[in-house]
């Protein structure tokens, strides 16, 4: 059985580039905001901007997983009151010509502000469009998937902003070249926090689980993957009667606060079927925050730096690697692949 499972990992590694694009399941949770009415001043004709008119907006937000389902915690779901207020602000301030442009502004903002949203569908209706004839409304519908990162879809203005976001100093670029050996995308000046996370899996297709996690993280607005260690196979820690783990450490930049980042990690764990029945037991996916800048936190949900990281070789070895130290594998931690995940 072990040989069969390990063979699945190796087969996935052999086709990892093709595998990444097929990892995501269909979002399972839907939040709907229907029939939102706002008075706005958008439109091509001068009278539309001067006199204004009513528009109606329907918005559906699809999520892979919402931690609030199990916790009953408002902070661990998509707060539709906050979504409504954001849409209201954008709609009532609009002075542009096209509802298509407003739809893009709202969609981009929702995905950026609410990282638990996987996809959205947005419809803007104009029941009083200045057209001679009988009709219920004129409308435009936009569907946006978080996984779709083609910036040209966001319009020339937002594309320029995106390019500006990822500019950085020559010193940062030199540091990245020295660390990674090749030029990599560098942290945006708008992603001020540096986060180190430990990734682990010993249930199912371990490589696919870890690949899924990194792809989901770097597909989330407000998070950018900067570096990832080699992949290591490690002996289980704590509860030792279980399959070996695959482990790695990743370095990310983020604009999210610590608990928001934790929410994303826990949602991704749940998407891969994570069970929390046995302490230190088998797990399809484990994402632990090791460092968040130099922040020190002691709370019920989060302790930083991670209180046990110094005791765990499966963290220390890949952590030393991404920090630029010389590392060697050993009896408990063995190198599997030095280039298992493609950095963009």
What pLDDT is attached to residue 162?
A: 35
Domain 29-146 part of CATH 1.10.132.20? no
Instruction: Give the distance, in angstroms, between the CA of residue 243 and the centroid of all CA atoms in the same chain.
Output: 28
In the block, residue with structure tokens 């052999």: 14
Average the pLDDT over each of 114-128, 149-163, 228-242 and give the range with the smallest value: 149-163
Give the pairing type, strands 193-201 and 286-292: antiparallel
Q: How far apart are the two ends of the chain, measured CA to CA in Å? A: 35
User: For 2-23+169-337, which CATH class?
Assistant: alpha beta
**Taking residues 117-139, what's their average pLDDT?**
94
pLDDT band at 280 (very low <50, low <70, confident <90, very high): low
CA 289, 292, 294, 298 torsion: positive or negative? negative
**Taking residues 295-304, what's their average pLDDT?**
89
Cβ proximity of 46 and 138 under 8 Å: no
Neighbours of 154 (CB within 10 A): 18
Q: Where in the chain are the domains?
A: 2-23+169-337, 29-146
- Catalytic one among 126, 154, 279, 326? 126
DSSP one-letter code for 289: E
* 126 included as an active-site residue: yes
- At 233, list the tokens: 């196979």
Dihedral, CA of residue 225, residue 197, residue 19 and residue 204, to nearest 10? -170
Neighbours of 319 (CB within 10 A): 22
Residues above pLDDT 90, as percent of the chain: 46
pLDDT band at 37 (very low <50, low <70, confident <90, very high): very high
Cβ proximity of 342 and 17 under 8 Å: yes
Element (H, E) at 3: helix 2-14
Q: Mean pLDDT of all residues in the chain?
A: 81
Dihedral, CA of residue 108, residue 112, residue 113 and residue 116, to nearest 10? 110
Query: Does the pLDDT at position 184 exceed 50?
Result: no
Q: How far apart are CA 115 and CA 276, in angstroms?
A: 23
């Amino acid at each position: 059985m072990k040989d069969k499972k390990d063979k699945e990992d190796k087969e996935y590694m052999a086709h990892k580039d093709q595998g990444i694009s097929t990892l995501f399941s269909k979002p399972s949770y839907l939040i709907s905001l229907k029939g939102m009415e706002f008075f706005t001043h958008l439109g091509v004709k001068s009278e539309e901007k001067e006199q204004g008119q009513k528009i109606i907006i329907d918005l559906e937000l699809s999520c892979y997983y919402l931690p609030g389902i199990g916790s009953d915690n408002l902070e661990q779901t998509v707060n539709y009151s906050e979504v409504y207020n954001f849409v209201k602000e954008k709609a009532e301030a609009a002075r542009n010509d096209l509802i298509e442009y407003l739809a893009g502004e709202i969609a981009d903002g929702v995905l950026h502000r609410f990282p638990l949203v996987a996809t959205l569908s947005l419809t803007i209706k104009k029941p009083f469009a200045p057209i001679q004839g009988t009709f219920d409304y004129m409308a435009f519908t936009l569907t946006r998937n978080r996984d779709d990162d083609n910036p040209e879809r966001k319009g020339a203005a937002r594309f320029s902003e995106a390019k500006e976001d990822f500019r950085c100093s020559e010193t940062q670029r030199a540091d990245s070249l020295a660390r990674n050996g090749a030029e990599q995308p560098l942290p945006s000046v708008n992603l001020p926090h540096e986060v180190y996370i430990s990734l682990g899996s010993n249930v199912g297709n371990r490589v696919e689980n870890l690949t899924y996690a990194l792809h989901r993280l770097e597909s989330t607005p407000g998070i950018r993957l900067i570096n990832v260690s080699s992949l290591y196979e490690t002996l289980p820690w704590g509860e030792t009667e279980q399959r070996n783990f695959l482990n790695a450490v990743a370095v990310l930049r983020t604009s999210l606060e610590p608990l928001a980042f934790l929410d994303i990690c826990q949602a991704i764990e749940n998407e891969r079927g994570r069970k929390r029945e046995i302490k230190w037991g088998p797990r399809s996916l484990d994402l632990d925050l090791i460092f968040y800048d130099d922040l020190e936190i002691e709370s019920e949900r989060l302790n930083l730096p991670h209180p046990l990281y110094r005791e765990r070789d499966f963290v220390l070895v890949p952590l030393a690697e991404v920090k630029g130290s010389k590392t060697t594998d050993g009896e408990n931690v063995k190198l599997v692949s030095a280039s298992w995940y493609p950095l963009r």
